[in-house]
Every structure is written in structure tokens, then in C-alpha cells.
Structure 1
Amino acid sequence: MKKLLLILILIWGGGAAGLWYWTELNAQHVTFRTILVRRGDLLATINATGTLEPQEVVDVGAQIAGEIQSFGPDPRDSSKSISYGTPVEQGTVLARLNDSLLKARTNQASASLDRAKADVEQAEVKLRQADRDLERVKNLFARRSISSQEYDTALTEYEAAKANVSLTKSSVEISKANLEEANVNLGYTTISSPVKGVILDRRVNIGQTVIASLNAPSLFLIAKDLSQMEIWASVNETDVGAIHVGQGVRFTVGAFPRDSFRGKVSQIRLNASMSQSVVTYTVVVDVDNTSGKLLPYLTARVQFEVEERKHVMLVPNASLRWQPKIQNVVPESRELFATLLRQSAIAPKGSGHAPKGESSSPERGTLWVKHNEFVRPVSVEIGLTDGIQTEISGGDLDEGAEIVIGQNQQNDPQDGATPFLPQLKNNKAKK
């Protein structure tokens, strides 16, 4: 009996030892990924996209109809014509229309004016003659040498001659106005730049006929000053409340991906637009482009600087989102952790965040600190975030503290095989 009992004890002990060894062999060994809490500067921003625009654009058109006969010479090189990107001064000739018809009309108006002036001279001669005749008739009538009817006839002829002079003088004024109109229309055949700037677009070619109607046809598009530009950024309605005039802005453009530029908010336009139920506002950002590096109509990726913190405790956002399994929590905190999990499961979504603009207690979060083979929770106060890092305060964390941001689970390479069976040293067939 003793030998049998001893054999049973040995079998039971060996089985228990084998079971323990097999369990440990297949158990998941958890290793935690950690990072150190550090101090640094934090800048919260609102991201948007926009387009670089000249501050002032002038659309140069034609006020009369005609055929494009030639373009003006390039101020930089007279052998070349005005074209895209040409810098121009105020009064620089941009183009000339065919003026043969308008010159003929000007000559006709000038001839009409000369004829009207001649008519005035002729009328004044007749007036002087009528005046002399009237004086003679007056003398004769005073001596009763002529009848009253003859006196009245002479007086009527004098008044008619005087009225004819006034009529011919008005004809002169009309002819002058016609000549002035013809000269103005002739001047419209030369199209000049109304401002100093750079030609962004030339919309006509030589030989093309310009037809003037209620809307003047556009010939040239001139940017008045490219040393000062604007960004028209589309900002979502949920973010526009955090933007104000004078706010600093950083932006980049695809043409120069390694360069960062700065600007300031100058205007928040109230004419919102809606696309697929999304409301956006146009925010105008002033940009200094004295270097001339930025080009019109480049797409800008804009960051509005909302708030900044200096030398604060920073942790990655991933550390605030990570949660361990309950078996990895230190035993004394497991009950509290389970209670918090149950509360978060039954709480309405988003109930932990106060609406914008309402006073509320500071938002709190939980970080996990490695403690031997387990992790220990630390409650902290959450501050500003830039989407990657978050400012924290409170708790018993100091700079350089090691916090958990994730974990790795490693299985035994035998993948749960029974330890009592022979194993291959290099199981290449395992998948």
C-alpha cells in the first residue's frame, strides 16, 4: 500500500508539474511600451485649406468694338509685346484696335465744325447788313419818308438775322461736341493700363474682333500689387468661433513644401456657404510677399494659431486613450478600474464633455504607470492639445516619469503544443 500510495503521489506531482509547465509555456507574456513624460511648448491650431489671391485685381476691357491690331511693347524689352507676367505701369499701352473707321468719323466731325463756324461768320455778316439797313429805315421813318410797313419789314429782317446768328453758334457747339465724342472714341482704340501691376492673363490675340455690348469684354487681368497677397481659407462653422482678426497664421504651399510662411487674419466674411450640409466661412489672411516667392492661386495649407503653452508637461494622446486589461492592473486598483469601465459603458456618448462656451470643471484623464509586472492608474487634469500631444497637470507624475502607451503580447513559439511530445528545433512548417 505504501508503495502504491507513493507511486500515486509521484504521478499526481508529475502531472501537476507538467500542467504548470504547459500553462506557463502557452501563457501570453505582456511587455509594455512606455514613454517618458517631458516638458515642452505646445501650440493648438485649427487646420484649413485656402487659395492665395492678389489683394486687388483689375479687369481691363474695351469700351468700343474693333479688331485687335497690335499689342503694346514690353517695358522691359521693346522688341517683345505685352504678354503674361509682364510688369506694367499706369498708362502703359496694352493693345491697339483698328482705328480707320473712327478716324474717318473724327475727320467728318471736324469738317462739320468748320462748316458750322463758316455759317456763323456768314450769319454775322448778314446781321451787320440788317443792322445798317435798319438804321437807314429809322432815319427815313423819322422824317416820314417811308411807311410804317417798310419800317416793320426792316426791323423783322434785323431780328431774323440776329436769331440766325444764335442758331449757327449753337450748331458750332453741337459740332464741337460731336468732334469731342469722335476723338474720345478714337482714344478708346488705344487700351492702356489703369494701374501699376503685373499682367496675370491676356485673353485676346491679334486679329481677334472685340464686340462691346452691355458688359465690356475682358482683355487683360492685372494684379495691382503682388508684394501683398491674401489667402481665402474655408473654415468649418465649428472652428470659426476660435478665429479672430489679428490672429497669427502659419501656412505652407505645395510648390515649396519645406518652407513655412506667416500671415495674419484680416477679415472673417459673413456670407457663409453650404455644401452637402457642411457650412463654411471664408477667412481672409494677409500675407507679406515682398520676396515674390509666392504665386497667385497656389493652394495653401493653413494653421490658425489658437492658443500656446510654454514649458508644460506633455504626453502623447495615445497614452490617454490606452486602457489595459483588468488582469494587468495592480490588484489594489482592479475593483476601481472595473467600476469605471462599467460607468463608461452605460454613460451616454459624449456626456463627459461640456459644451463650448459653458463653464465646467477641468476635464480629467487617466495615465498608466508601469509597476513591476502590472500597471498603476494615475488621474491627471487634461489641458490644451494639438492633436498629437496633450498638456497635463496634477497627479503624482513628474518630468521623466515612465508612462505606458501600449503593450505587446508574446506567445511561446511552440504555439501551445504539449510539452511531453518531441518537438522540432526549427518548425518551418508552422503558419
Structure 2
Amino acid sequence: MKKILISGLVLALLVLGLYAYFGSDWLGKPKAPPLTVTVEKGDLLDQVTATGTLQPSGYVDVGAQVSGQLKVIAVEVGDKVEQDSLLAEIDPTVYVAQVDASRAQLRAQKAQLKDREAQLTLAQLQHTRQHNLLAANATAKESVQSAEAGLRSAQAQVEALTAQIAQTESSLRADEANLSYAKVVAPMAGTVVQIDARQGQTLNASQQSPVLMRIADLAVMTVAAKVSEADVSKLTPGMKVYFTTLGDSRKRWYSTLRKIEPTPVIENNVVLYNALFDIDNPDGALMSQMTTQVFFVLTEAKDALLVPMSALAFSDPSDRTKAQVTVVNAKGQPEIRNVQVGVSNRIHAAITEGLAIGEQVQIQAASSNKNNAPARTGARMRI
């Protein structure tokens, strides 16, 4: 009796061990069907993603070139201005006085020049007369020499005064320029995005130009995308790029990569490179400092046959163009098939040869867990 009990116990332990190891399959129960997906058509992109910031494509900080009290600020933040339109005005009293003084001095010097020119004419006549008298032995040689000296002196005085007039005219142009600088005008067409000065403020431009405001061209914006050092080598100028904003993730803005700045930016010990591209902004929907999600398109396939990467088996890891898939045929039987792979990313692959639309491909067992596998047999891919 004891032997029978021991034998029964051993048999029960054996049954429990087999069940724990093999599950219910060893009892003859049917296995769960393999997880499959349907081969569908769609578009596929292989791309590098980054975050970026919108900035105006061009801007200028408008400063004051002369000192004085800021009497008028003619614009507000957000105003659109044309080139050479009035932005602000500095008290011109001192500069008007300087211009008036220079003009008066110039008039006086020109009057003096007329007097010197008259004296020069007289000296020339005396010089000629003395030479004629000398030829007739009617004058002394000393008188001729005195006439020559007087002529040279009159010529020198005219030349000196002419130089003084040129100097005064130069000073007058500078004074007139300073007077014109009292009216600060827009150096470019754009939008006033920042005003740093206040009406009534006294400006001192003797050492450096005080910044009054910033004007930016918001009709064209520039996106500066921060790309990691692991991905930056994949980018080339001229490649297709698009982005979305936090405010509207459904709308895509398309452009082409313009340049990659060679100097990196270090953020939290991460090396990032600025990739720049421009985008037209005619309606002003894009604003400065907006955050963007940027997608650089490395390769793309249009209207291609798509399968999950988890359905592919690559015999040669260095060759990602040839793979095998397990196709479930109409009888529900698995069939190994060689396929040609085109564009692929981390999630999907475009099959250029070996599959047909509507066929069922089996997901590999390594990817059939809850996190990677579809929720049911025959689940369709979302592209």
C-alpha cells in the first residue's frame, strides 16, 4: 500500500512538472494562433527628429547715433513699418544751432574768398605792369621783384582760404548728418518686436550707440533645430524637412535644410548642432520663440507595401535590403518567403518585392509580447 502511495505521488509530481514546463500543449490542447498583420499600402518616412525654435530670418537693433533727450517714439510693439519711416525723434536744438553756425562761417569764408580773389587780380595786374616797365627800362628791378612776391602771396591766400572753405563744408556736412540723425528712421521694412527706450529718456551716444528698438522681418522665419551629434552626420543641406508647432501639431510646414552650424551647443552634457532652414510666414501665424518639432526626411517611399519591422528576419545584419518573412497562407499554414526591403525605419519597412497587398505576415515571437505585438490576430497596421 505504501508503495502504491509513493508511486502515485511521484506520478502526480511528474504531471505537475510537465504542465509547468509545457503548459497545456502536452495535453493535446490547440496552440494559440500566431499574431499576424495585413500587408497594406501607405507612405513611409525614415527621418531624424529634433526640437527647434522659431526666429525672424532677419532683424536689426535700431540705435541712436546722437545724444539728447528722446522727445518722440512714433511706433509701438507690433507696428509694421516701411524702410525710412519715422521711428523716434531726439531733441534737435543743439544740432540745429551747430548747422546754423557752420553755414554762417561758410558764408563769411566765401565772402573773404571774393576779397582775396580781387586782391589776386590786382596783384596779377601789378606784376604784368612791372614787367612791361622793366622791358622799357622804366622801373627798377626791385619793383618787379616786389610785384612778383605780392602775386605769390595773393595766390597763397586764395589757396589757404579755399582749403578753409572745404574744411568748413565738411564740418557742415557732419553737422547736417547729426541733425538728420535726430530723426531715427527704419533701416529696413518689418515689424517692431521690441522697444527698449522710453519717451523723455536722455540718450548718451558718445561712447556706444544706445539701442532704442528692434525691427524684424516676420514674413520669413528661420527654424534653428538642435540635432544630436549622433544624427547630425545624416543631414545634408537641401534635404526635405518639415515641422509642427505646439499650438497645432496637425499642420505641417515644409522647407529644405539651408545649413548646419559647425559650432556645437552643449546642453546638460549633450552635444547639439543647430540646423537652420527658412519658412515663409505671409500671414504671421508663426511667431518668435515658438517651439517646433522638426523632422528631417532621410528617405521616403510613396504608396509602398508596408509591414512591421518585427515581421522581418535578417540573416545578414549588415545587409538590410534582404530579409525573410513568414506568410500565413489561405490554409492557415506558415510559409517562409524571401523579400526585398526598400525604405525602412524603426517601426515599418517598405517591401519592394516578395509580398502582395492583403497577405498576412506573422510577427516574430521575440516581438509578440504585450508591449510590441498587436492586440489581436490579424491586427492592421496604422501608418
TM-score, normalising length: structure 2? 0.74
Please state how far the C-alpha of 1:227 moved relative to its aligned partner: 2.8
State the SS of the aligned residue for 2:167.
helix
| 2:99 partner SS | helix
1:77 aligns with: none
Corresponding position of 1:387: 346
Which residue number corresponds to residue 283 of structure 1?
275
On the 8 A contact 2:327/2:360 being kept in 1, the answer is no
Q: Verify the 8 A CA contact 1:378 1:395 in the aligned structure 2.
A: no
The structural deviation recorded for 1:16 is 6.7
For residue 191 of structure 1, the aligned residue among 184, 203, 223 is 184
Residue 47 (structure 2) aligns with: 45
Counterpart residue type for residue 35 of structure 2: T
Give the corresponding residue for 1:303: 295
Does residue 238 (structure 1) correspond to residue 230 (structure 2)? The answer is: yes
Aligned mate of 1:157, from 126, 132, 150: 150
Q: Tell me if 1:65 matches 2:24.
A: no
For 2:349, what is the secondary structure of its paired residue?
strand
Q: Relative to structure 1, is the Cα distance of residues 312 and 130 closer, same or farther in structure 2, using a 3 angstrom cutoff?
A: closer
* Structure 2 Cα separation of the partners of residues 286 and 51 of structure 1: 12
Contact in 2 for aligned 1:249/1:303 (Cα 8 Å): yes
CA contact (8 A) 1:242 1:306 kept: yes
Aligned-partner Cα distance in 2 for 1:99–1:178? 17
Which range moved further: 26-35 or 229-238? 26-35
Could you report, residue by residue, the CA deviation over 1:122-167 in whole angstroms, capped at 9, with x for unpaired residues? 3234334545555665676666665443443344334323322232
Larger radius of gyration: 1
Q: CA–CA distance in 2 between the matches of 1:353 and 1:277?
A: 32
Closer, same or farther: CA 264–131 of 1 in aligned 2, 3 Å: closer
Q: Which residue of 1 aligns with 2:28?
A: none
Matched, 1:273 2:275: no
Q: For 1:22 and 1:278, how far apart are their aligned partners in 2? A: 52
Q: Which runs of 5+ in 1 are unaligned?
A: 73-81, 322-350, 355-359, 409-431
CA shift in 2, pair 1:100/1:25, >3 Å: same
Partner SS state of residue 358, structure 2: coil
How much is the aligned-residue C-alpha RMSD, in angstroms?
4.3
The 8 Å contact of residues 268 and 281 in structure 1, kept in 2 or not, is answered as no
Give the residue type in structure 1 aligned to 2:173: E
Specify the alignment match of 1:86 in structure 2. Answer: 79
Secondary structure, counterpart of 2:200 in structure 1: coil
In the alignment, the residues of structure 2 paired with residue 12 and residue 161 of structure 1 have an alpha-carbon distance, to the nearest angstrom, of 146
- Find the partner of 1:261 among 253, 257, 260: 253
Measure, in 2, the Cα distance between the counterparts of 1:213 and 1:269: 39
State percent identity of aligned pairs: 26
Q: Distance in 1 between matches of 2:10 and 2:67?
A: 107
Q: 2:307 aligns with which of 315, 320, 323?
A: 315
Q: CA distance change for structure 1 residues 367 and 222 in 2, over 3 Å: closer, same or farther?
A: farther
Classify 1:181/1:36 alpha carbon distance in 2 versus 1 (closer, same or farther; 3 Å).
same
Counterpart secondary structure, 2:250 = strand
Whichever residue aligns with residue 185 of structure 1, its letter is N
| Distance in 2 separating the partners of 1:130 and 1:14 | 148
Aligned residue number for residue 162 of structure 2: 169
Task: Give the alignment partner of residue 249 of structure 1, picking from 232, 241, 245.
Answer: 241
Change (3 A) 1:222 1:33: farther
- Distance, in Å, in 2 between the alignment partners of 1:310 and 1:130 is 96
In the alignment, the residues of structure 1 paired with residue 256 and residue 213 of structure 2 have an alpha-carbon distance, to the nearest angstrom, of: 30
Query: Structure 1 residues 107 and 369, CA, compared in 2 at 3 Å: closer, same or farther?
Result: same
User: Do the aligned residues in 2 keep the contact of 1:380 with 1:393 (CA within 8 Å)?
Assistant: no
Conserved? CA contact 1:378–1:396, under 8 Å = no
- 1:385-431 Cα offsets, whole Å, 9 max, x none, are 333333457789973426355368xxxxxxxxxxxxxxxxxxxxxxx
CA distance in 2, matches of 1:285, 1:23: 64
Deviation at 1:307, TM superposition (A): 1.8
Q: Secondary structure at the match of 2:197?
A: coil
Q: Does 1:124 align with 2:155?
A: no
The amino acid across from 1:389 in the alignment is H
Contact kept in structure 2, 1:363 and 1:383, CA below 8 Å: no
Matched, 1:180 2:180: no
Change (3 A) 1:365 1:273: farther
C-alpha deviation, 1:274, in angstroms? 5.3
In 1, distance between residues paired with 2:269 and 2:338? Answer: 38
* Residue 113 (structure 1) aligned to one of 106, 113, 125: 106
Name the residue aligned to 1:340.
none
SS in 2 for 1:259: coil
Distance 2:67 2:189 in 1: 25
CA contact (8 A) 1:319 1:406 kept: no
Is 1:406–2:355 an aligned residue pair? no
Indicate the larger mover: 288-297 or 91-100.
288-297
AA at the equivalent of 2:345: D
Deviation of 1:273 (Å): 1.0
Whether the 8 Å contact between 1:37 and 1:403 is mirrored in structure 2 is no
Uncovered stretches (5+) of structure 2, i.e. residues with no partner: 25-30, 371-383
Higher mean C-alpha displacement, 379-388 vs 48-57: 379-388
Aligned: 1:212 with 2:205 = yes
